[in-house]
Structure 1
Amino acid sequence: MDFSKNILETIGNTPLVKLNKIVAEIDALVLAKVETFNPGNSVKDRMAVKMIEDAEADGRLKPGGTIIEGTSGNTGMGLALVAIIKGYKLICVISDKQSKEKMDILRAVGAKVVVCPTDVEPTDPRSYYSVSKRLAEETPNSWYVNQYDNLSNSLAHYEQTGPEIWKQTDGKITHFVVGVGTGGTISGVGKYLKEKNPNIKIWGIDTYGSVFKKYHETGIFDENEIYSYITEGIGEDILPKNVDFSLIDGFTKVTDKDAAVYTRKIALEEAIFVGNSAGACIKGLLQLKEHFKPDDVVVVLFHDSGSRYVGKMFNDDWMRERGFLEENVTKAEDVIKDHIDKELIVVRTEELVSHAIERMRKYKISQIPVVDINGFVGSVDETDLFRSYVADKNVAEKPIKEVMGKPFPIVKLGTPIEEVSKLFTKENDAVLVDLQNGHHHIITKYDIIGSIK
């Protein structure tokens, strides 16, 4: 009989799959190392086992102990599998930018999840680095994994992932492209491949808001480059010990939008349902296309499963809110189609300014059309009301007709977006759309900006 003694024995030997449509403009053979076939659905299963086994061997992790780690979710999943099989407790410290799916999955496999704010310095006591260290100090019989500086991370990929790729490509690989977070995968695989053939090029995919690319090119750790970003699993605001920059031939940066868009493209064009960093890798690969020749064999690694991003990159509303959804916005109706059923908030000429202010607060809006029995006769916006208040503190008790401005222009549903945009001026901050059923909708500057791709 052919069976595994436990789930950990199924880790590794993931398939190499030829990419076709999504890399059509690349003149080389492009193969994806699809790490979702690991039992925890990510590449992190490999190093989770290695780090725990090495810690057991040298006495850092003792029987019945508690494993503590700061993770973007995937390492936590790998650690959870090992913890279950080997009888350890697990505490995962995760940043609040990670998907809800990742947090729910970690809880489902028995981990305690502690959520920390993303947009704080690594040294901030609230950061997931700091909280992880503090919990390790406070928890009896615990071991802090520290995947960033734990060199068992890169060693796992030197011993497993690198040899697999070399064997699967029959030693013909010419380029390895991978997202860089902790640095374990790129450094471990890169070290093995370059020992086999020093001419193999190792490319890292970075994200805007991360320090890797500039540091590699200049040796400067530029804190001005550090800011919050959406892409998960790659990029850092620290320099992990696992990142061996001497093994990396170059980096290319990918925007949050491109990473999200290409994550969806991989599923739609290659039928491979993978995560956010895979999208970044494919866009980065396309940005590097001039480096590849027809006889090259390019391997790109897909880190994790798309199931962990169903509420994010694979959710139209989430994508639309961030301006990531590739929609063709050409007419007025395209701008308002997602909220066309919302009631138009208005104020009447004889109502008081205080009524308009209250409506702005309640509905979180900045412009309101003014109506009387004949229709639209004026408008008010928060800037005008503020100026009126500065000039006269009693303005709140005056009727709207005494402070209102000109009525907003009215356009038809089919009006080209270029024509709508021209109606916005210093004096006019909104446009009304005639819905042709006796009702109207409003378009603001914010709506126009949100439609820009």
Structure 2
Amino acid sequence: MSPHILDNALGAVGNTPLIRLDKVAAQLGVKCNLLGKIEFLSAGGSIKDRIAKAMIEAAEKEGKLIPGQSVVIEPTSGNTGIGMAMACAIKGYRCIITLPNKMSLEKEAALRALGAEVVRTPTEAAWDSEESHIGVAKQLQRKIPGGIILDQYRNVNNPLIHELTTGPEIIDAVVSTPSTPARPSSGKVDVVICGAGTGGTITGVSRAMKRTHNKECIMVGVDPKGSILALPESLNTADNGAQYVVEGIGYDFIPDVLSRDPMDVDSWIKTDDEEAFAAVRVLMRSEGLLVGGSSGSALSGAEKWFKTEAGQRVAQTEGMNVVLVLADGIRNYMSKPWFLSMALEAKPSELFGAIAEALKKEGN
């Protein structure tokens, strides 16, 4: 959070806070420090702002983007597209985003508001088919003059920017917060838990942690049931091909930027929609954090991991620092049935009767 006047919105990408999740930790019965990296406070609303900015600025330095000619085309589940559209609006590039049908209307609206063109594709299309969001993007690139795909699935700047910014921000926040009798700390990042989509976040953050900070840091990847990113492969077989509602994590192929090397990702946890959305409610009602579905996946994954042998040891050790990467906010999901059900169809609170009684007209 810069105290200075910024030249444009790209200066407000990243530098997000790390916040204690003490109430959630108490509900889970864990003694370790549970911390949330709050990425919805980035300018475009998600952790994907970082890679959009990085990929565009790297392409500019390499001469791949030409002002007035280049058309940035990107297949995405939405958040990378919003980051791209924001950067293109600032820098003056035209932008086309290809987006699977399951992604929220809010994402499309935000993209169009930023000046991007949006092309929807069938959710069920295999990643390597011409009808998928990736296949359609490639068709557009071939036929539209100046079209360029910066390709978050293969672009080295995706994991690199997390190695250079997201990881160090987490490290700096933990290291610079002193240990006290009331709030003991190991003085280092002991565990990071985050959802995996392209895999850039977990790969880059892992490299920052293990190469320069704490080689013993445990990296836990969270993968939705129906996706195939987790290891061992047996974790994926029971629900292989199943559709899931949560957005932004999971794939039916292994992106090039995702390292599944056990040296980078120590453990994988599978989660489902129901437990993810229940965890969103917990984060909202307990910590006041208006997060999206994948943040719920991260929390529900953490709850499962804390029940493993390694997780139990960490959970019951005061001062160990466990970081959840909370990738985006609720802005993009407020019309989704799962959110409307949670927000508008919940059981009345104990105040409902008191309100009705207070507003009752005399004589009735």
Taking structure 2 as the reference length, the TM-score comes to 0.84
Partner of 1:58: 62
Partner of 1:440: none
Partner of 2:359: none
Partner of 1:136: 141
Partner of 1:361: none
Secondary structure at 2:232 match in 1: helix
Corresponding residue to 1:310 among 330, 334, 352: 334
Q: Rg larger in 1 or in 2? A: 1
Output the CA distance in 1 between the equivalents of 2:344 and 2:254.
30
Letter of the 1:188 counterpart: G
**1:252, CA displacement in angstroms?**
0.4
Letter of the 2:318 counterpart: P
1:61–1:142 CA contact under 8 A, matched in 2 = no
Structure 2: gaps (5+ residues):
176-186, 349-364
Q: Is the alpha carbon distance of 1:168 and 1:234 closer, same or farther for their aligned partners in structure 2, counting shifts above 3 Å?
A: same
Output the CA distance in 2 between the equivalents of 1:47 and 1:153.
5
1:190–1:202 CA contact under 8 A, matched in 2 = yes
Output the CA distance in 1 between the equivalents of 2:233 and 2:250.
17
**1:289, CA displacement in angstroms?**
1.2
Which string of whole-angstrom CA distances, capped at 9 and with x for unpartnered residues, describes residues 228-269 of structure 1?
A: 211111111010011111200011011111111211221111
Partner of 1:275: 292
Q: Does 1:68 align with 2:83?
A: no
Corresponding residue to 2:202 among 174, 186, 201: 186
Q: Does 1:17 align with 2:19?
A: yes
Partner of 1:36: 40
Q: Does 1:233 align with 2:237?
A: no
2:280–2:292 CA contact under 8 A, matched in 1 = yes
Provide the identity percentage. 35
Q: Does 1:251 align with 2:275?
A: no
Corresponding residue to 1:160 among 165, 168, 172: 165
**1:185, CA displacement in angstroms?**
0.5
**1:223, CA displacement in angstroms?**
11
Which string of whole-angstrom CA distances, capped at 9 and with x for unpartnered residues, describes residues 137-179 of structure 1?
A: 1111111121111111011101111111111110511000100
Higher RCO by CA contacts (8 Å cutoff, separation 6 or greater): 2
Secondary structure at 1:75 match in 2: helix
Secondary structure at 1:243 match in 2: coil
Secondary structure at 1:4 match in 2: coil
Secondary structure at 2:339 match in 1: coil
Structure 1: gaps (5+ residues):
328-453
Output the CA distance in 1 between the equivalents of 2:143 and 2:305.
47
**1:59, CA displacement in angstroms?**
2.4
1:118–1:228 CA contact under 8 A, matched in 2 = no
Partner of 1:217: 232
1:261–1:279 CA contact under 8 A, matched in 2 = yes
Partner of 1:378: none
1:207–1:254 CA contact under 8 A, matched in 2 = yes
1:72–1:94 CA contact under 8 A, matched in 2 = yes
Letter of the 1:241 counterpart: D
2:85–2:116 CA contact under 8 A, matched in 1 = yes
1:16–1:32 CA contact under 8 A, matched in 2 = yes
Corresponding residue to 2:324 among 300, 319, 323: 300
